A and B are shown apart, each in its own frame.
Chain A
């Protein structure tokens, strides 16, 4: 009993002290490390509102690295929180923010304006407009989600919903292949690069739009800590506890689509984070109580995303790696390692 109490205390310490400190440290590191090496002294001076020794450095910090680092935080938190909610809803460790077809719906939207641009005779320049891509991605993912949502009112259990989501994903994926098949190589390249994700493209204007959206999505998920906890036991049990399953399901889907949908619209489909971070955090904190896992997952997502971003910049080289390659390259082995150590992921879902 005593050990349980002390472990809970150390866990709280981790949650409210260690994780935020890690985030702060990595955030600063993300600003310091980049393709162009800028002396720390200059960086501090620039952040405090001064001018760097070179004017281009001031621009690099304020126009390139700062928006990028903030985007990284938003993406990490949003995708991880939506992943956790869906894993709980479907009681399936393989669920992630993209199982409902958010990613493929967004891909379809982007594919239509990027790949079918020449087919429908639209001006080729249209697809290069970042707002156009954001709009297309949002419309695409909303359409798919709308269909999944409509289905969610008809089906009884979440597993069926999961399968329906996967089927929508396959269907839209097939449409994207058809579009790809009939496109020229430059269009395919632009589309493919979009699918590799991007953290560094957002302008300040876009970030100020993304911040409230992500906060709203996370707020909805925090308001559902109790029903999420009851869902861990089983849908039937939750129902017997007086939880309105349909309403909860709707809120979870809404929160997920706001979080994952907006991030995908602005940054492209960022792989792996939503699926992996909840596992890592759950195994780290030894509890499946959402009161703890939700904030821990949000912060864990930020940390891992920051690490991935730093790696993708290949510090001190002019070269760069696509963010999606890094998230999976680093993420997958880490998850395997953690799972091998803990050996059991089922208990996290109360089974």
Chain B
């Protein structure tokens, strides 16, 4: 009897150890697999590294004031998911069916030739990209209603593998619901980047979800070198025209702070932005007279919202006529690429293509530096 028990126990032991062994091996393998940092040059709000076939991504702030960082573990669909922390979000790659909730995601997806993966989008009428619009028309991309109130039933029926969303304050009932449905939510937080190139580099973030790391890196390289080339040209000129931006809504003129994204771009374009010395990174609510006092004699008015002509500007507020830039017709607005529904490509492609915005700004401030260049987003108002 004792023998039997001993034999049984030995067998049990053997079985257990047999079962445990491969698991031990795999985690050992994981530790052995070298951790390869992926170089991120300009963006500061995400980092990536590879370990074996898996990619780890960490986003310190998925929205402003996020209490913890968001971590993603990207595992090829053919591999098994390794041991991982509980709070890490697992994504099986490549993502083949996805839903996006904002137009800012779209340029990267198009650049990476992945628009076939996009199956749903809210407010499709605001999309500027022609290729994506064609897929909307052919019914390959489902309309999901409003981005603040997604049509959950349609979204669920599309069976997306991931929803690419964004949140300004971490408070999105829609995205929480998506999460509860078991669909991973990927928060894009490029808008928190402080530099234009930093924002554009998020193409690498998106690329990782499609296993298109190399293509993403190449695209980013192209954008960056185009950007730097234009910036280099600016260095050859001493002349720095003064400029202001924005328009007044009712009584309030929203002026971008000196550390903001538009201010950075103006600075890079060799423009003497009148609020460049300000230290805020958001926009400031100013009185019309305060803006007027500072900008009355400025050379250029760059970014007069979406007004289409000087006449229209004047109709909205006749005080605009007091500015020297207005009198001399040096007013520019980002109106060249607005679709028939009012969607503006400046807000869509603009963040991903700072090289184009910078070129536009240089063309405005120093036309002699880019004689053959035709502006992409901006137009001079007549």
Q: Which of A64, A124, A200, A313 contacts B338 (CB 8 A)?
A: A124
Query: Given A35-B290, A130-B315, does the pair A322, B342 have CB atoms closer than 8 Å?
Result: no
The reply to whether A34 and B251 contact each other, CB–CB distance below 8 Å, is no
Query: What bracket does the count of chain B residues touching chain A fall in?
Result: 35 or more
Q: Which of A121, A181, A184 has the most CB of B within 10 A?
A: A184
Sampled A-B contacts (16; CB under 8 Å): A36-B293, A55-B296, A56-B297, A60-B293, A118-B342, A121-B340, A124-B306, A125-B308, A125-B312, A130-B317, A184-B126, A203-B317, A268-B250, A319-B285, A322-B251, A323-B251
Alpha-carbon distance A56/B290, docked complex (angstroms): 10
Additional 8 contacts, C-beta under 8 A, given A128-B305, A318-B286: A64-B292, A125-B306, A125-B308, A128-B316, A198-B251, A200-B251, A200-B288, A201-B250
Q: Which of B250, B284, B308, B322 contacts A63 (CB 8 A)?
A: B322
Within 8 A of A (CB), among B236-295: 248-252, 284-290, 292-293
Alpha-carbon distance A60/B340, docked complex (angstroms): 38
Alpha-carbon distance A198/B123, docked complex (angstroms): 31
Within 8 A of B (CB), among A196-214: 196-201, 203, 205
Alpha-carbon distance A59/B295, docked complex (angstroms): 13
B156, chain A: closest CB distance, angstroms: 21
Within 8 A of B (CB), among A104-137: 117-118, 121, 123-125, 128-131
Alpha-carbon distance A258/B21, docked complex (angstroms): 87
Count, A-B residue pairs, CB within 8 A: 110
The reply to whether A197 and B250 contact each other, CB–CB distance below 8 Å, is yes
| Residues in A neighbouring B287, C-beta threshold 8 A | 34-36, 200, 313, 318-320
The reply to whether A64 and B252 contact each other, CB–CB distance below 8 Å, is no
A35, chain B: closest CB distance, angstroms: 4
The reply to whether A65 and B315 contact each other, CB–CB distance below 8 Å, is no
Query: Given A56-B293, A320-B251, does the pair A184, B342 have CB atoms closer than 8 Å?
Result: yes
Alpha-carbon distance A319/B289, docked complex (angstroms): 10
Using a CB–CB distance below 8 Å, which chain B residues touch chain A? Answer: 123, 125-126, 146, 149, 248-252, 284-290, 292-293, 296-297, 305-308, 312, 315-319, 322, 338, 340-343
Q: Which of A56, A124, A181 contacts B292 (CB 8 A)?
A: A56
The reply to whether B289 and A35 contact each other, CB–CB distance below 8 Å, is yes
B124, chain A: closest CB distance, angstroms: 12
- Of chain B, the residue at the smallest CB distance from A268 is B250
SS class of chain B's interface: helix, strand, loop or mixed?
mixed
| Residues in B neighbouring A320, C-beta threshold 8 A | 251-252, 285-287, 290
In the assembled complex, A194 has its CB within 8 A of some CB on chain B: yes
Using a CB–CB distance below 8 Å, which chain A residues touch chain B? Answer: 34-36, 55-57, 59-60, 63-65, 117-118, 121, 123-125, 128-131, 181-182, 184, 186-187, 189-190, 193-194, 196-201, 203, 205, 268, 312-313, 318-320, 322-323
The reply to whether A319 and B286 contact each other, CB–CB distance below 8 Å, is yes
The reply to whether B251 and A59 contact each other, CB–CB distance below 8 Å, is no
Q: Which of A55, A198, A203 contacts B250 (CB 8 A)?
A: A198
| Residues in B neighbouring A55, C-beta threshold 8 A | 296
| Residues in A neighbouring B319, C-beta threshold 8 A | 63-64, 203
The reply to whether A196 and B289 contact each other, CB–CB distance below 8 Å, is no
| Residues in A neighbouring B125, C-beta threshold 8 A | 118
| Residues in A neighbouring B252, C-beta threshold 8 A | 193, 320, 322
| Residues in A neighbouring B315, C-beta threshold 8 A | 128-131
A42, chain B: closest CB distance, angstroms: 13
| Residues in A neighbouring B290, C-beta threshold 8 A | 35-36, 318, 320
The reply to whether A319 and B284 contact each other, CB–CB distance below 8 Å, is yes
- Of chain B, the residue at the smallest CB distance from A121 is B340
- Of chain B, the residue at the smallest CB distance from A61 is B289
The reply to whether A181 and B146 contact each other, CB–CB distance below 8 Å, is yes
Q: Which of A129, A184, A197 contacts B316 (CB 8 A)?
A: A129
A199, chain B: closest CB distance, angstroms: 7
| Residues in A neighbouring B306, C-beta threshold 8 A | 124-125, 186
Alpha-carbon distance A35/B337, docked complex (angstroms): 36
Alpha-carbon distance A60/B293, docked complex (angstroms): 8
Query: Given A129-B315, A130-B316, A190-B249, does the pair A34, B289 have CB atoms closer than 8 Å?
Result: yes
The reply to whether B307 and A125 contact each other, CB–CB distance below 8 Å, is yes
B194, chain A: closest CB distance, angstroms: 22
The reply to whether B284 and A59 contact each other, CB–CB distance below 8 Å, is no
B111, chain A: closest CB distance, angstroms: 24
| Residues in A neighbouring B341, C-beta threshold 8 A | 118, 121
Alpha-carbon distance A319/B286, docked complex (angstroms): 4
Alpha-carbon distance A124/B333, docked complex (angstroms): 14
Alpha-carbon distance A182/B149, docked complex (angstroms): 10
The reply to whether A194 and B250 contact each other, CB–CB distance below 8 Å, is yes
The reply to whether A117 and B250 contact each other, CB–CB distance below 8 Å, is no
Alpha-carbon distance A312/B288, docked complex (angstroms): 13
Alpha-carbon distance A121/B251, docked complex (angstroms): 28
- Of chain B, the residue at the smallest CB distance from A182 is B146
